[in-house]
Chain A
Amino acid sequence: MRVTCTVNGVDRTADDVWEGESLLYVLRERLGLPGSKNACEQGECGSCTVYLDGTAVCACLVAAGQAAGRDVRTVEGLAPEGGLDPVQRAFLQAGAVQCGFCTPGLIVSVHDLLAHNPQPTDPEIREALAGNLCRCTGYEKIMDAVRLAAADGAGAA
């Protein structure tokens, strides 16, 4: 089937989509947007987190057809071409990236957290990131990055 949706502000169309395919597969394999990562395929790890109509979701759990006509925003669309979103900048500054596989999902989740709660407490940060697994960092640098992004007013952006 053919699936058309808005991705990062641009109308995109994917052809020959299998009806049982996920939005994640469409993004990565059909639309050339490999920022959202494919790891667990069962909503456990959060590395495929994207916005669907403004709501943070696991792209692996959205059927491609469910995204038709909807607005999708991926990690590639958080900042203008060549620039960095304040959350991305904070992750770099805090050293919150090791292997980097979980990072795109975490960036979107933190972006979503700060948009709703610009000054989160530590327990609120942990709760908001409970669905994003990182096996490298032990999360401490990620916590630092979120605090730094909040201090820099990322949520107000």
Chain B
Amino acid sequence: MDFLNPATWADALKMKAERPDAVPIAGGTDVMVELNFHRRRPPALLDLTRIGELSTWDLDGDTLRLGAGVSYARIMAELGEQLPGLAMAARTVGSPQIRNRGTVGGNLGSASPAGDAHPPLLAAGARVELASVRGTRLVPVDEFFTGPKRSVLAPDELIAAVLVRPAAGPEQFSKIGTRNAMVIAVSSFALALHPDRRAVGTGIGSAAPTPRRAAEAELFAAGQLPWDTLGALDPDVVRRFGELVAAAAAPIDDVRGTAAYRRHALAVMARRTLTWAWRDLCG
């Protein structure tokens, strides 16, 4: 095995082009587990932790560019205002030690259906910036995942950043697990209200082969919410929203839960997050 440790992003892209079989490693919270348990023996590791620009974020106009190497701990500490849904999800990741190391870039790279960052990125309409020596491309996050632990990332590409508009309205995140810490989601749900364009964003986690949006539920809620009056939510609208979110999932039975439970939980989380977010919006 080779250990590649580029000092610059340009070097990293060059190495990845020359060694497409190299496995990128940042916080190591997924990759090292596979190595420690002898599940994987990649020909090379490509260490991304020495590339300073990967662990920065900045605001350019109405787009926040979140470097792939920014840790969950920093998202919690620094981005609670701009990306509240992602910050809430970050608080539910692992433990303090895991949040100190784990990154959104790594979450995307692993592309687990249960990745905690994915639902809020879906709800916020984020785009993933992929780079290679061939150039850079932006992929909407709802087109990034192609299957369990699979994505559109090409063998010579690295995840550079996530581009996302800072929240224009309330965002919420909910996650079901057996305890509050160190838990892989049984299922999770993120919701974003976009009052500026009277739209609703959603993200379903751990209840389909990939993280996914509930598109029909989004359109339904956008059309039914009382944006003009900011009045009380119609209980029938809330209930129907939950049903549509549950219907958008394609869960399976596994060690963490049954498909039926996941659908039920999604409907509950969808109702709760919509209620919370609407209350946040109406002050």
Binding site for B on A (CB under 8 A): 1, 18-20, 22, 41-44, 46, 49, 55-58, 60-63, 65-66, 68, 109, 112, 127-128, 130-132
Contact = CB atoms under 8 A, between A and B. Distances in A.
Contact of B2 (A19, A44, A56): A19
A49 B44 CA distance: 26
Contacts of B41: 20
B28 A62 contact: yes
B22 to A, nearest CB: 11
A48 to B, nearest CB: 9
A1 B1 CA distance: 10
Given A65-B3, A130-B182, 14 more contacts: A1-B3, A19-B1, A43-B29, A43-B98, A44-B182, A58-B97, A58-B98, A61-B27, A63-B28, A63-B31, A63-B45, A109-B97, A130-B96, A131-B97
Contact of A131 (B3, B35, B182): B182
Nearest to B99: A131
B95 A130 contact: yes
A66 B98 CA distance: 16
Interface of B: 1-3, 5, 25, 27-29, 31-33, 35-37, 41-42, 44-45, 47, 49, 94-98, 100-101, 180-182
Nearest to B100: A55
Contacts of A18: 1
Closest 6 CB pairs of A and B: A131-B95, A130-B181, A19-B1, A41-B36, A19-B3, A65-B3
Contacts of A42: 33, 36-37
B95 A63 contact: no
Given A20-B41, A42-B33, A61-B29, A66 B95 contact: no
Contacts of B1: 18-20
B2 A131 contact: no
7 contacts: A20-B42, A41-B36, A42-B36, A43-B29, A46-B95, A61-B28, A131-B181
A63 B32 contact: yes
A109 B96 CA distance: 9
Contacts of A20: 1, 35, 41-42, 45
B5 A56 contact: no
Contact of B25 (A41, A43, A66, A112): A66
